[in-house]
Amino acid sequence: MTFLRLEDLTKRFGEFTAVENVDLSIERGEFVSLLGPSGCGKTTTLQMIAGLQEPTAGRIVLGGTDITRLPPNKRGLGIVFQSYALFPHMDATGNVAFGLEMKGIGRSERQERARAALKLVKLDHLADRFPKEMSGGQRQRVALARALVIEPPVLLLDEPLSNLDAKLREEMRIELRLLQQEIGVTTILVTHDQEEALSMSDRVVVMEDGRIAQIAAPLELYERPRDLFVSDFVGKTNLLEARVLSAGERGSVVGIEGHQIDLPGTDLGKLDKVTLSLRPEKLVMSDAADGVEAKVLAAIFLGANWLYRVQTPIGELFVTQPNSGRPGFSNGDKTWLSWPDGAVNIFSAEGRFDETH
């Protein structure tokens, strides 16, 4: 059963439409990410759920109750803000206990539950510290504890990890996901970081210009993006413009910069132009004469992977290869580039080819 439902949610600021007809159903205990570039309406959507922005149109239904016009202090949702928004004049315990105090819970129970919440985020040893005396990561945990302690039906996270450094961010991803699964709170995460969305969510909602572009599980989203925008925004990819030279039941042939590429098993029918999307890690570099010729323009060592930029007859491509422990290719090396049949995503003007045809 749907726990939280957004129905045709729309927000306009004067002439500008920030969010347009967003329809979304979220199950109890689900972790859903709103992913998109800045200005796509994801934060506005979150603020409407929180009650900090009033929708121009549409409804928000939580557990069967319409909460669209309910003020934020009556919704009881937990929010972690991007800036953490801690109360600088209260220590960690005071910050966490504030929500309980507003609920009218007595002092001793308040203290006890605040301690427990701080313990949950592994911060019980800093209960008396003021926000100013804590690191970014610690503040973030206090903000999380403060949102969780009121036992909200829905936890809203507004880019909670974007102010942390890279290593801490990765650790917090795992920790946050484990914590969410442990307490089973329905969670909505707003982020512009596709890795964050892919790694933490049950489902990802990709937004573009105030509209939902695609809703899918992380793997599906990555492997089968519905249009060029999603394909380009989620993960890295090489996009190649191609002309259809011939098409039949057994397969099609497309031309890219005068070079022919076979697409076995795909009947492109009457289409004239398509765009091919090739993920850098799906490409295989080898010395065996297979696929297209490639010349290495740049080789960048990333530790776990090599990132190459190569010159091929079909254009310049990015290629990622795992680091096997041996030296990789160097600038100027000649090699061959191939890919498995299913690795190519084909898009026409209407969107993903195998869904629109």
Partner 1 sequence: MKRINATPYLLTAPGVLFFSALLGAPMVMTLLLSLHSYDYTLGIQDDWTLANYLDVFTDSYFYVIFGRTLGLSLLVTVLCILIGAPEAYILSRMRNPWRSIFLLVVLGPLLVSVVVRTLGWAILFGGNGLLAKTTAALGLGEVSLMYTMTGMTVALVHVLVPFMVIPVWASLQKMDPQSEDAALTLGASPFTVIRRITLPQITPGILSGSIICFALTAAAFATPSIIGGRRMKVVATMIYDEYKNTLNWPMGATLAALLLFANIVIITSANRLVERRFAKVFE
Q: Which residue bears the tokens 């949702």?
A: 77
303-324 CB burial, b ≥16 within 10 A, e <16 = eebbbbebebebeebbbbbeee
Q: Which residues contact 66 (CB under 8 A, 6 or more apart)?
A: 59, 60
218 sits near partner 1 (criterion: CB under 8 A): no
Task: Count helices and strands (H / E) in the chain.
Answer: 9, 21
Query: Binding segment for partner 1 among 19-27, 47-55, 110-118, 187-195 (CB under 8 A)?
Result: 47-55
The separation between the first and the last C-alpha atoms of the chain, rounded to the nearest angstrom, is 32
Among the listed residues 14, 64, 88, 258, the single contact to partner 1 using CB under 8 A: 88
Which among 69, 7, 45 has a CA at the least distance from the CA of 156? 45
The verdict on 51 binding partner 1 (CB under 8 A) reads yes
Collapsed DSSP state (helix, strand, coil) of residue 116:
helix
Here the tokens at position 64 are: 């069967």
Indicate the residue among 98 and 306 with the shorter CB distance to partner 1. 98
Task: Output 34 or 244, the one with its CB closest to partner 1.
Answer: 34
Give the number of residues in contact with partner 1, rule: CB under 8 A.
30
260 binds partner 1 (CB under 8 A): no
Segment 132-161, which members bind partner 1 (CB under 8 A)? Answer: 132-133, 143, 146, 150
Whether the Cβ atoms of residue 142 and residue 174 lie closer than 8 Å to each other? no
* Residue 31 interacts with partner 1 (CB under 8 A): yes or no: no
- Least distance from C-beta 223 to partner 1, angstroms? 37
Which of 73, 264, 324, 326 contacts partner 1 by CB under 8 A? 73
99 touches partner 1 by CB under 8 A: yes
Residue 344 CB neighbour total at 10 angstroms = 18
Q: Which of 78, 160, 328, 351 binds partner 1 (CB under 8 A)?
A: 78
Which residues are near partner 1 by CB under 8 A? 50-52, 71-79, 81-83, 85-89, 98-99, 102-103, 130, 132-133, 143, 146, 150
